[in-house]
């Protein structure tokens, strides 16, 4: 068994895929790489599997849930059989308990060791344009309700971000004054507005009370905001679901940016053929594209970063400088860095999602991660042989 498992890991890794890419097709600067904490490397099979599952789309995650249920049912069956016949079979019970616990811990352990993006050019700052705190209705009242502004900032720091926009649903969360801590990112103001079936990310500060009071449509909302200080980005999956044939109208309304990568499971369904259509549209119209975490506190993995070239990386003007760079619409000053993963439109059948996700982990793994996977394989094989 050890030889088969080792062979599979090595074969997958021989068909190596770069772990990072820019969805626009531009080559990434060579320095960018994922940095792993020592605990991640030591227990790579556990942490990299959590990462792979956290980057799945909703349709594939449902199949992970189905297999977890199968594991629980197997455990119950094994318990019933062992009661009737005597002699417990330990492994199905361990599997039935272990799989759901593994999934729940991976989803809720916010501070678990994660991969951090590092090594880019010194004039590029890593930015997240869309993230939430427990001021949002879909964080408050859930098991992740402790994800407040400070927790959001710590998570962005662990993932390597230098700036993060807080975009709670239909409110402007008050942000603390900058404390000057260089080890934590700058927090920037924004909000996620729900209007006409769409979710629009509004970056910057504005007279929200007046704007929202006057807005009964996207057009009137955008008119009431000063376009030189606010930047509007259409969020996934809503524009793909509800405005796919009206992208020109969206841009005419004042929305100049589009998310083409969003790490939330529902938005992660976005197929590459649609992504490429949006890229073509924004190239023609001097719009811009971004990749966002849409972090709500679930699943600690960071899947995507934006690297923005700012004139000067100073703390006081950073948020405004980032908005200014995107508003000018120069594609060379902003890039998306996303992690390779099992995508919704990959050839793997949906019901094989857990195996496909681990296979992609092996294909994109660095040598230290491969060594950790093979090391654990042989440790478990030798422990099993010893017990016999
Ligand atoms: Zn959101």
pLDDT at 190: 93
Rounded to whole angstroms, the Cα distance separating 381 from 317 reads 56
Q: Is the separation of the CB atoms in 162 and 314 below 8 Å?
A: no
For the cut 90, the answer to whether the pLDDT of residue 332 exceeds it is no
More confident call, 96 vs 187: 187
pLDDT digits (tens, 9 = 90+) for 152-200: 999 999 999 999 999 999 988 888 888 888 889 999 999 999 988 899 9
The phi, psi pair for 284, rounded to 5°, reads: -70, -30
CA of 140 to the centre of ligand 1 (A): 14
For the cut 90, the answer to whether the pLDDT of residue 90 exceeds it is no
Rounded to whole angstroms, the Cα distance separating 46 from 64 reads 16
Residue given tokens 């053929």 in the structure block: 273
- DSSP H/E element including 207: none
- Give the other-Cβ count within 10 Å of 209's Cβ: 9
For the cut 70, the answer to whether the pLDDT of residue 354 exceeds it is yes
Class of domain 122-338: alpha beta
pLDDT at 230: 86
CA of 133 to the centre of ligand 1 (A): 10
For the cut 80, the answer to whether the pLDDT of residue 215 exceeds it is no
The phi, psi pair for 304, rounded to 5°, reads: -155, 145
pLDDT digits (tens, 9 = 90+) for 291-321: 999 999 999 999 999 999 987 767 778 998 8
Q: Determine which of 35-49, 68-82, 346-360 has the lowest per-residue pLDDT on average.
A: 68-82
Rounded to whole angstroms, the Cα distance separating 306 from 257 reads 13
CA of 259 to the centre of ligand 1 (A): 11
Q: How confident is the model at residue 386 (pLDDT cuts 50, 70, 90)?
A: confident
Rounded to whole angstroms, the Cα distance separating 170 from 221 reads 12
The pair of structure tokens assigned to 263 is: 């790490």
CA of 72 to the centre of ligand 1 (A): 33
pLDDT at 227: 62
User: If you average pLDDT over every residue of the chain, what do you get?
Assistant: 91
For the cut 80, the answer to whether the pLDDT of residue 5 exceeds it is yes
CA of 144 to the centre of ligand 1 (A): 15
pLDDT at 167: 95
The strand pairing partners of 191, in sequence order, are: 202
Range list for CATH 3.20.20.140 in the chain:
122-338
Question: pTM for this structure?
Answer: 0.93
The strand pairing partners of 257, in sequence order, are: 233, 288
Give the gyration radius of the chain's Cα atoms: 23
User: Mean pLDDT throughout 260-271?
Assistant: 96
DSSP annotation of 264 reads: S
**Residues with beta carbon < 5 A to ion ligand 1?**
192, 294
Instruction: Give percent above pLDDT 90 in the chain.
Output: 68
Q: Determine which of 43-57, 108-122, 166-180, 207-221 has the lowest per-residue pLDDT on average.
A: 207-221
CA of 386 to the centre of ligand 1 (A): 51
C-alpha distances (whole Å) from 121 to each of 148, 248, 367 are 31, 34, 24
CA of 130 to the centre of ligand 1 (A): 6
Residue given tokens 């790489």 in the structure block: 33
CA of 231 to the centre of ligand 1 (A): 16
**Among the ranges 78-82, 120-124, 137-141, 270-274, which has the highest mean pLDDT value?**
270-274
């Amino acid at each position: 068994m050890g030889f088969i498992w080792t062979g599979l890991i090595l074969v997958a890794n021989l068909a190596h895929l770069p772990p990072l890419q820019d969805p626009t097709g531009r080559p990434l600067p060579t320095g960018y790489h994922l940095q792993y904490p020592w605990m991640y490397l030591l227990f790579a099979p556990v942490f990299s599997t959590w990462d792979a599952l956290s980057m799945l789309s909703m349709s594939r995650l449902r199949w992970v849930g189905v297999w977890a249920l199968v594991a629980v049912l197997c455990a119950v069956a094994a318990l019933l059989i062992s009661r009737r016949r005597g002699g417990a079979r330990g492994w199905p019970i361990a599997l039935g308990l272990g799989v759901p616990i593994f999934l729940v811990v991976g989803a809720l352990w916010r501070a678990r060791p994660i991969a951090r993006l590092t090594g880019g050019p010194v004039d590029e700052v890593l930015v997240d344009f869309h993230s939430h705190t427990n001021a949002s209705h879909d964080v408050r009242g859930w098991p992740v309700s402790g994800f407040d502004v400070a927790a959001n900032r710590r998570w962005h720091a662990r993932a390597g971000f230098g700036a993060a926009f807080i975009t709670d649903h239909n409110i402007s969360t008050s942000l603390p004054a900058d404390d000057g801590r260089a080890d934590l990112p700058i927090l920037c103001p924004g909000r996620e507005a729900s209007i006409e079936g769409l979710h629009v990310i509004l970056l910057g500060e504005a007279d929200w009370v007046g704007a929202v009071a006057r807005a009964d449509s996207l057009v009137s909302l955008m008119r009431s905001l000063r376009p030189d200080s606010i930047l509007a980005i259409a969020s996934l999956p809503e524009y793909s679901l509800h405005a796919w044939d009206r992208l020109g109208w969206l841009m005419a309304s004042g929305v100049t940016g589009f998310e083409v990568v969003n790490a939330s499971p529902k938005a992660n369904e976005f197929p590459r053929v649609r992504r490429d259509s949006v890229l073509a549209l924004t190239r023609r119209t001097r719009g811009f594209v971004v990749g966002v975490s849409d972090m709500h506190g679930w699943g600690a993995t960071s899947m995507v970063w934006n690297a923005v070239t700012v004139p000067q990386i100073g703390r006081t003007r950073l948020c405004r400088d980032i908005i200014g760079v995107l508003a000018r619409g120069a594609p060379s000053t902003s890039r998306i860095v996303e992690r390779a993963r099992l995508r919704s439109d990959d050839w793997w059948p949906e019901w094989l999602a857990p195996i496909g996700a681990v296979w992609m982990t092996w294909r994109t793994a660095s040598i230290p991660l491969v060594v950790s996977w093979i090391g654990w394989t042989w440790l478990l094989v030798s422990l099993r042989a010893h017990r016999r």
